[in-house]
Structure formats: structure tokens, C-alpha cells
Amino acid sequence: MDNLNLIDTFSEFKDLKSIDRATMMSVLEDSFRSVLQKQFGTDENFDVIINPDKGDFEIWRNRTVVEDTEFTDPNLQIALSQAKKIDDDYDIGEEVTDEVKFSDFGRRAILNLRQNLATRILELEKDNVYTKYKNKIGEIVTGEVYQIWKRELLLLDDEGNELLLPKIEQIPTDFFRKGDSVRAVIIRVEMRNNSPYIILSRTSSVFLERLFELEVPEIFDGLITIKKIVRIPGERAKVAVESYDERVDPVGACVGMKGSRIHGIVRELRNENIDIINFTSNLQLYIQRALNPAKISSIKLYPNENRAEVFLKPEEVSLAIGKGGLNIKLASQLTGYDIDVYRDREAVDEEDVNLDEFSDEIEGWIIDELKAIGCDTAKNVLSLSREDLIKRTDLEEETIDEVLRIFKTEFE
């Protein structure tokens, strides 16, 4: 194996890994010096010259001329008689430089060099990938599905780097096949066993924020700011936006002409419903907008408790709560207030009966559970189906049946 073969091997690594030239030269020189240290005990008196353009290298050893009787170290010294054979003009104390052929070191030394090179370059590549993606946390990347496991997907980027999309970071309705192109946001980059692990997410609020930046130029340019995003992946999301230019309608800009901008985001998120809300520092108005599409009659705020009582007409309560309680849950997360929904008493049927009046027949914790879903009268509860009550509350089916029986008896 000659010098040229070693350089060819090195060049292959360089081309494959796209490591900059200066770094690769340094790695190659360090690898040579490591072999020299093992071979001669020191590399300080050696000059390693690498010529990447020609694809070769040279190793030159510098030795001091000494009297034949004082010659003790063949690596650092050269006997005067030996130096005279090279050039008759050499004298005591002068330095002789001669080329050392790496191929003379033996097969084992050459194999060690190749192994050392491979290890160093692999480490460099791992460090480069780690640094590259560490600086991209919060950005969207696209990868191709390479392997599908029960708990995660293995994706490959354009350079063949491995990206991981855990099951818990996938939208519940996500379904991918090998070869599919997947977009996700980088949320975490770790080193495990000296290898970079790039973790992606499609459920993160950051992913939705980046999608808006891609689809809405006004957000990318800074004319519109996303104040807060809350979402239940695959189900529903609420996005509060604010415009720094009064001529720009933030909600209209995000939706786009005939929904052109929002539709692309909704498709990417597997038909996740997205409510875009105009941010305001007026808390009452903010809560009112957050509970959209429900129309609110009045709001009572309790700032010290971070709690709000919202009163609505009976027909608006289910809209405020939303399917499975998603609307009110997201509105609470968006505003930072616990929101309790009540029916506007002025609109309540005079023949209706408040739940508290059934305290002698129904335990208090059951009444509280019904109030938590916006039911504060008997007719409120009866207006919901048995299935809805079971789904929205934590009550047992038998308990629901007993409650319905008591309320129906009241109005018979």
C-alpha cells in the first residue's frame, strides 16, 4: 500500500462527508504524527507536508550531526560519518533533513493510520451534524421515511443524516409509508453514545408557528406577530395574532383570499381546525374572542384567582364548550384564565330548577361535575344526550342514568 492509496482513501472521505479542506488537512497530519509518535517515540523533529492537489504527502525527519562516538539516538541524531555519505560538507552540530518513506513503516502502521483516519473523520462528521442541527432547533426540515418502527419513524434528510420522529410527536391521524416526504420541526438535538440524535415534532406549537411563517409573508416580514399558540394536535388550535400596521388585518392576512393560506396549513396538520384570533390587551374582549364562535352575554373576572365566569344564552353554551370540551380548554390555555361557563339567568326557563336544589338527592361532587361542563340547571342537563354526558364528565354510566331519572321525574 503506497502513499497514493492513503491519500485516495482520505479524498473519498472528504468528498463523502463535505468536511472543509483545512480541517481535513489537520486531521490527516495529526494521524501521521500519531503513527510517528508510536514508531519513534516523538514527532517533534518531523515535518509532515501534505499536497492535496497532487494527492500525495511527504515526511521529512530532521536530525543533528554528532560525533560517531556520541551517536546514541538514531531518530534525533545522525553520525558524522553517515552524514558525510549524504553530503561531504556536513559538520558537527548541523541539521540533516532526509525523507522518510511511510511505506517502510510496515503494513501494521499503515493499517493503523487508515483506521485512525476513518475514526477521526467519522467523529468529525458526527460533530458537524450535531452542530448543524443544534443551530437549527425550531426550524422546519423535510425528511424521507426510511424505516417505520412502533415507537418512532426514521427519516433521512438530503445528505443522508438520520432524523427521528417519535410516535408521541406525531399527529394522532398521521399515517406514513416508506418513501413518504415528511415535514416537521426540530425540537431537540442530543449526543447519545457519541452519535447525534435529531428529534423532530409535528405536535409542537412551534411547528404550527413555522408553517404560518411559510404561508403568510406578513408574519415572516414581521408585520404580523404571533402572540401565542395553543393546540390539541389533530383536533383544534387557537392562534392569537397582532398587527403592527393598522392597515393590515392580521386575521384576514393569515386566512388569505378564500382561505388560500390557512387551507395549506390545515392540510399539513391533518385537518386540524384552526381558530385565528385578533390579540388584545383587553382581557374581557380577549376571552370573548377566544371562546369564538360562542356569543357571550357577560363576563366576570377574578384576576387574583386567574378565573373568569362567562355567562351565555343556553343555546350558546355547547358552542363555548365545544366538542369534547376542546374549545373552552384551548380558550383557557390561550388567555391564561380558568373559564367557568354559566347560562345567562335572564334567559333561563322560569320552570327550570337549579342543580343546587337537588343536593338532598344528588351528592355535591356529582353536581359540581355537571356544573363543570356548563350545566347549572336540570333542563340544561336534560338538553344533552346520555352519550354526551358520559363523554364530557367523569361520571359512571349508572350515575348518569340515576341523575337523568331524578331530573325527568321533576318535570313529569
Task: Residue 111: give its domain's CATH number.
Answer: 3.30.1480
pLDDT cut 90: percent of the chain above it = 42
Q: Given a cut of 50, is residue 4 above it in pLDDT?
A: no
pLDDT band at 391 (very low <50, low <70, confident <90, very high): confident
pLDDT of 349: 53
Do 7 and 127 fall into the same domain?
A: yes
Q: Is residue 317 part of a domain?
A: no
DSSP-assigned states of every residue in 386-402: HHHHHHHS---HHHHHH
Do 92 and 18 fall into the same domain?
A: yes
Residue 158 Ramachandran class (φ > 0 left, ψ -120 to 50 alpha, else beta): alpha
Q: Given a cut of 50, is residue 2 above it in pLDDT?
A: no
DSSP-assigned states of every residue in 194-229: TEEEEEEESSSHHHHHHHHHHH-HHHHTTSEEEEEE
Q: Given a cut of 60, is residue 309 above it in pLDDT?
A: yes
Amino acid sitting at position 141: V
Expressed as residue numbers, the domain containing 217 is 204-279
Q: Is residue 48 part of a domain?
A: yes
Q: Given a cut of 50, is residue 247 above it in pLDDT?
A: yes
CA 29 – CA 33 distance, rounded (Å): 6
Domain stops at, among 201, 231, 250 = 201
pLDDT of 250: 94
Name the range with the highest mean pLDDT among 138-152, 245-259, 286-300, 332-346.
138-152
Q: Given a cut of 80, is residue 14 above it in pLDDT?
A: no
> What is the 8-class DSSP label of residue 320?
H
Do 55 and 118 fall into the same domain?
A: yes
Do 230 and 275 fall into the same domain?
A: yes
Nearest to 378 by CA among 339, 397, 346, 350: 350
Q: Is residue 122 part of a domain?
A: yes
pLDDT in tens, 190-202: 998 889 999 999 9
pLDDT cut 70: percent of the chain above it = 92
pLDDT of 1: 39
pLDDT of 412: 67
DSSP-assigned states of every residue in 40-61: HS--TTEEEEEETTTTEEEEEE
Q: What is the mean pLDDT of residues 197-223?
A: 95
Domain stops at, among 175, 201, 227 = 201
347: CB partners within 8 A, 6+ apart: 297, 313, 314
> pTM, whole model, 2 decimals?
0.68
Q: Is residue 152 part of a domain?
A: yes
Do 75 and 111 fall into the same domain?
A: yes
Do 165 and 208 fall into the same domain?
A: no
Give the burial class of 206: count Cβ atoms within 10 A of its Cβ; 0-12 exposed, 13-18 middle, 19 or more buried: middle
CA 101 – CA 396 distance, rounded (Å): 86
pLDDT of 11: 56
CA 323 – CA 311 distance, rounded (Å): 19
Cell numbers standing for residue 251: 386575521
Mean pLDDT, the chain, integer? 86
CA 272 – CA 350 distance, rounded (Å): 40
Domain stops at, among 279, 299, 318 = 279
Do 97 and 22 fall into the same domain?
A: yes
Q: Is residue 77 part of a domain?
A: yes
CA 290 – CA 326 distance, rounded (Å): 12
Do 173 and 213 fall into the same domain?
A: no
Do 191 and 248 fall into the same domain?
A: no
Domain count, the chain: 4
pLDDT of 146: 96
pLDDT band at 124 (very low <50, low <70, confident <90, very high): confident
Do 197 and 106 fall into the same domain?
A: no
User: How many residues does the structure list for the chain?
Assistant: 412
The domain that holds 215 is classified in CATH as 3.30.300.20
Q: Given a cut of 70, is residue 321 above it in pLDDT?
A: yes
Cell numbers standing for residue 1: 500500500
Q: Is residue 314 part of a domain?
A: no
pLDDT band at 6 (very low <50, low <70, confident <90, very high): low
Do 90 and 161 fall into the same domain?
A: no
Do 92 and 175 fall into the same domain?
A: no
Q: Is residue 301 part of a domain?
A: no
Q: What is the mean pLDDT of residues 51-61?
A: 73
Q: Count CB neighbours of 281 within 10 A.
A: 7
The domain that holds 176 is classified in CATH as 2.40.50.140
> What is the 8-class DSSP label of residue 157?
-
The domain that holds 360 is classified in CATH as 1.10.150
Q: Is residue 112 part of a domain?
A: yes
